[in-house]
Amino acid sequence: MNLIFTLAWRNLWRNRKRTFITMSSVFFAVILAILFFSMEEGSYKRMIDSLVTYSTGYIQIQDVLYQEEPSIDHAMLFDEAIEELLEKYSDRISFYVPRLQNFALVAAENTTRGSMIMGIDIEKELLLNDLSKDITAGEFLTKSDEGLLVAKGLATILGVGIGDTLVLLGQGFQGATAAGKYPVRGIVDLKIPELNNNILYMTIENAQWFYGADERLTSLIIMPVNPAHTHRLTNEMLADIDREWYNILTWEEMLKDLLALMKFDMAGTMVLMIILYIVIAFGLYGTMLMILIERQKEFALLFSIGMKRSILAAVCFLETLFMSLAGTLMGVIGAIPIVAYFNYNPIRLTGQMAEAIAEYGFEPILPFSSDPAVFYTQALYVMILSVIIGLYPVKRVFQLNILDAKH
């Protein structure tokens, strides 16, 4: 066995050009596969993280009717039963974020627009998404503030700035009239275009007064200590809550339409990945075929002096394995700095492509994922592909005709 390893290793460096051509094929194949997959995974992860952070959270407690009919009339009462539930699972809940949201007509001096009013607990909202870092003008709300924080896109549409006054008109809890005048304290640039053009924030106390919904919430966001345990925590909390009045949903249940769209898109991505693997396979096969044609006389000579076909086949396979391993390792090492760069500096799209993505409600950028799974899965796939193709020289060794190979 040591002899076979020694022969395989020496053969690699006997013809360095041939070895480097094969390793380069694997190297570029691995880099291409990792970059493509990293871009796809990064885009999906960015979408989900943005929606979880700015919209749904991982888990929500709602009134049992709210999911089917999201009306202010189905705002739940934040009572002792909810407080006891939170206390029971406090060791597994990182924090919770109360929200009261509903639509209202927002009027500036010359423009009106239907928008989402989001009542937030200032301190707890900052734990979820740290909106204060996204302030582009003015300042963030304080707990006793009676002003508004307006999304940047909505502020542009309404043509308002810091210090301007907005008139809000809507329907409150159980048909009460909701009306008021509020000054603009700050402008925030949200990461999701759909939200950026439609949301304004006020303190949850002001929102409850505005809608006449004292001590009521449209949702209570739960952020688990370990997001991987979201489903387990949800099921256990459901078993302890009064299902007649309350419901508990995971982010997947609240974003069903988005996930269905993503699965459809992922199917298209898998088709592209299969095409990429086919291109890689043919590239590697062409390289192997070139090596075999070049070495036919060498193989015939080795058979003539008594080398067994099984030993030569094992040597050829080990050569392929060594070249594939080296090419794969170099490909992973070469991809790491590229992925790291685009992970911190996402590609920002422009033109029609940016507009198309923005229409779906997402930020028009292409972030790259630095998840270790991106590297080892693609490296493993290309490695397996290389080894399978590496079996072709083994087959040819057993089928080689010595007399034909000498000519």
Going by DSSP bridges, is the β-strand pair 199-203/112-120 parallel, antiparallel, or unpaired? Answer: parallel
d(CA 314, CA 308): 10
Same domain, 268 and 185: no
Residue 205 is assigned to a structural domain of this protein: yes
Same domain, 379 and 274: yes
Which residues have a Cβ under 8 Å from the Cβ of 218 and sit 6 or more positions away?
62, 63, 66, 70, 72, 74, 75, 76, 99, 100, 101, 102
Same domain, 281 and 163: no
What's residue 184's pLDDT? 93
Question: How distant is the alpha carbon of residue 243 from its chain centre?
Answer: 32
Residue 308 is assigned to a structural domain of this protein: yes
What's residue 186's pLDDT? 92
What's residue 204's pLDDT? 92
Same domain, 273 and 209: no
Same domain, 205 and 285: no
Same domain, 109 and 214: yes
What's residue 183's pLDDT? 93
Same domain, 41 and 159: no
Residue 327 is assigned to a structural domain of this protein: yes
Which of 194, 222, 250 is the last residue before a domain boundary?
222
The structure tokens 């269905």 sit at 260
d(CA 236, CA 362): 33
What's residue 255's pLDDT? 79
Q: What's the N-to-C CA distance of the chain in angstroms?
A: 32
| Phi, psi (deg, nearest 5) at residue 403 | -65, -40
Domain that holds residue 182: 97-222
d(CA 302, CA 210): 91
What's residue 99's pLDDT? 92
Residue 58 is assigned to a structural domain of this protein: no
Helix (H, G, I), strand (E, B) or coil at 105: strand
d(CA 185, CA 187): 7
What's residue 402's pLDDT? 64
Residue 240 is assigned to a structural domain of this protein: no
What's residue 166's pLDDT? 93
Which pTM does this prediction carry? Answer: 0.69
Same domain, 163 and 215: yes
Question: What stretch of H or E contains 292?
Answer: helix 256-304
What's residue 362's pLDDT? 62
Number of folded domains in the chain? 2
Same domain, 384 and 265: yes
Same domain, 315 and 399: yes
Which residues have a Cβ under 8 Å from the Cβ of 328 and sit 6 or more positions away?
26, 27, 30, 379, 382, 383, 386
What's residue 356's pLDDT? 61
Residue 70 is assigned to a structural domain of this protein: no
Residue 253 is assigned to a structural domain of this protein: no
DSSP per-residue letters across 173-236: GGG-EEEEEEEEEEEE--SSHHHHTTEEEEEHHHHHHHHT-TTEESEEEEEESSGGGHHHHHHH
- Sort 274 into a burial class: Cβ within 10 Å, 0-12 / 13-18 / 19+: exposed
Residue 339 is assigned to a structural domain of this protein: yes
pLDDT tens, residue order, the chain (407 aa): 677 777 777 777 777 777 787 788 788 888 888 888 888 888 777 777 777 777 788 999 999 888 888 888 899 888 888 888 889 888 899 999 999 999 999 998 888 999 999 999 988 888 888 888 889 999 988 888 889 999 998 999 999 999 899 999 988 888 888 889 999 999 998 877 777 888 999 999 999 999 998 889 999 999 998 888 888 999 989 888 888 888 999 888 887 777 777 777 667 777 877 877 787 777 777 777 776 777 777 777 766 777 777 777 777 777 777 887 888 888 889 989 998 888 888 877 776 666 666 655 566 777 888 888 888 887 888 778 877 877 777 777 677 666 555 55
- Sort 32 into a burial class: Cβ within 10 Å, 0-12 / 13-18 / 19+: middle
Tell me if 201 sits within 8 A of 118, measured CB to CB. Answer: yes
d(CA 189, CA 248): 30
Same domain, 273 and 394: yes
What's residue 352's pLDDT? 67
Residue 136 neighbours by CB distance under 10 Å: 10
Which of 161, 195, 222 is the last residue before a domain boundary?
222
What's residue 148's pLDDT? 93
Helix (H, G, I), strand (E, B) or coil at 12: helix
Same domain, 213 and 265: no
